[in-house]
Structure 1
Amino acid sequence: MPEITLYFWIVKILATTVGETAADFLNTTLSLGLTGTTYAIGAALVMVLVFQFRVRKYVPAIYWLAVVLISIVGTLVTDNLTDNFGVSLTTTTIIFACVLAATFAVWYASEKTLSIHTIYTYRREVFYWVAILFTFALGTAAGDLLAEQLAMGYLPSALIFAGLIGIVALAHAKLKLGAVLAFWIAYVLTRPLGASLGDLLSQAREDGGLGLGTVATSAIFLVTILGVVVYLTKTKKDVTATA
């Protein structure tokens, strides 16, 4: 796992934004449909996770490619439930919150820790990636619920989630909120933040966005992610002492 630095959070937010816009791009612009997009990205994620589980150390390119793909899959899971099966965003938000809580409960009961710095067994890594998937699905549902169903708009929603992340950071720094708890709360909140930013940039102006489109938005963020990952690969600034 990477060290939790500023670079981690930058790439995480970029990846969550791509998860929102790339899913829309493949589904709508390329006309693959939700089902076709889900199969294609799901297969790609499985292949990348095979490499992630086989490497014996943190490799930025593999790890962050897995995060980008699982971000897209998390978006697609929520979109399939709401668009194909008619499940409301309120219901999906509650469902994924409960499923994520159950994942953490089983993980902790099994391993006695939720720290990503202790992920050095296959079982703990399985728990980690399952939890990551549900954070993305939950974040997508919560972000869309606030911005669209509750009609808050993309920019106000992004500011709300950014403010909540700031409160978590302050609580950790000043009120001694535990590092592990603070990490996972912030990790969940960065997903709806990224989703709101992605929609803000890509959606049409009449829908409350800036009209950049999914192609331009996805390309900008993917290129930025690539640049940061190349930098991290060369400098190893996010490699822990035991990685």
Structure 2
Amino acid sequence: MSQAVPGAGRALAARSGLRRNKVPEVTVHFWIIKVLCTTVGESAADLLDEKAGLGLTGASVLMSALLAVVLVVQFRSGAHRPGVYWLAVALVSVVGTLISDNLTDDMGVPLVTSTAVFAIVLAVVFVVWYRRERTLSIHHIDTTGRESFYWPAVLFTFALGTAAGDLVSERMALGHGLSAVLFAAAIAAVAIAHCALDLDAVWSFWIAYVLTSPLGASFGDYLSQPTGDGGLALGTVVTGTLFLAVILGLVVHLPVTRRDAAEPEHPDIR
């Protein structure tokens, strides 16, 4: 059996006009890293706000600037680069969490209101994206236009997930552990609906993508918060560092296995 020559696929794609997807394939690794990024984002937002003394505004400005730099690198990449992509997702997680926290803590916006607003904004992004590109599939994030819709959608899924997670765990008094179980059950229900009831694959993905944000946040809070608040009292530093180490291990491993690499798409395929 012949082996592929490194770089040959990319060169062939360039010569034949094939387009390379800029985001990873949806695998078990994808969902694990996504949930962990949410937890790291929640921990990092708390650390920057409280421990570093930046406050929500200072932390938001700093992390938004870093996110902008990484997104420039991401947009200029000719293909999916796991390190750049997941760094962008982690930073989006932090910024999305800070946006939600700013509305709730600094501006006094009720969680019910912010959750509804983020849901509406996300729906608008999806509507405009679909009207422009005729697809919401992450298997075809292969043009600058589609990627320009993809990242705002990801940002508002994180913001929505943070607000919804806080609403369920705090305002509904379910606690962090029970909230995590509830969101995990909701994701399982989406998976069952997709497999057994033929729920559309694109909508199944995006619904699950939103739900992984409050799942990760609730799980992270359960590990980090004091026992008096229903947590395990590991602290945000320990929790964030532990999860970040797992993320780094998986991201370093992915280029070796190539399990998250998508095949290039033909320019006529939507």
Query: What TM-score, normalized to structure 1?
Result: 0.98
Q: In structure 2, which of residues 189, 192, 203 is the aligned counterpart of residue 181 of structure 1?
A: 203
Distance across 2 between alignment mates of 1:189 and 1:115? 18
Select the residue among 143, 149, 161 that pairs with 1:127: 149
Q: Which has the larger radius of gyration?
A: 2
Residue 8 (structure 1) shift:
0.4
SS in structure 2 at match of 1:56: coil
CA deviation profile, 1:144-198 (whole Å, cap 9, x unmatched): 0000111110011100100000000011111111110100000000000001011
- Larger helix share, 1 or 2: 1
5+ residue gaps, structure 2, are 1-22, 266-270
The offset of 1:5, in angstroms, is: 0.6
Partner of 2:225: 203
Report whether the alignment pairs 1:64 with 2:86.
yes
How many residue pairs match? The answer is 243
**Are residues 1:35 and 2:87 paired?**
no
Q: Counterpart of 1:17 in structure 2: which amino acid? A: T
Compute the displacement of 1:209 (Å): 1.1
Aligned ranges for residues 20-169 of structure 1 at < 5 Å? 20-169=42-191
Aligned CA RMSD, in angstroms, stands at 0.8
Identity %: 58
| Structure 1 unaligned regions, length at least 5 | none
Deviations 1:73-101 (A, max 9, x none): 00000000011100010100000011111
Match of residue 191 from structure 1: 213
Is 1:14 matched with 2:20?
no
* 1:101-153 superposed Cα distances (whole Å, 9 cap, x missing partner): 11101111111110011111111101000000000000000000000111110
TM-score by length of 2: 0.89
Number of the residue aligned with 1:234: 256
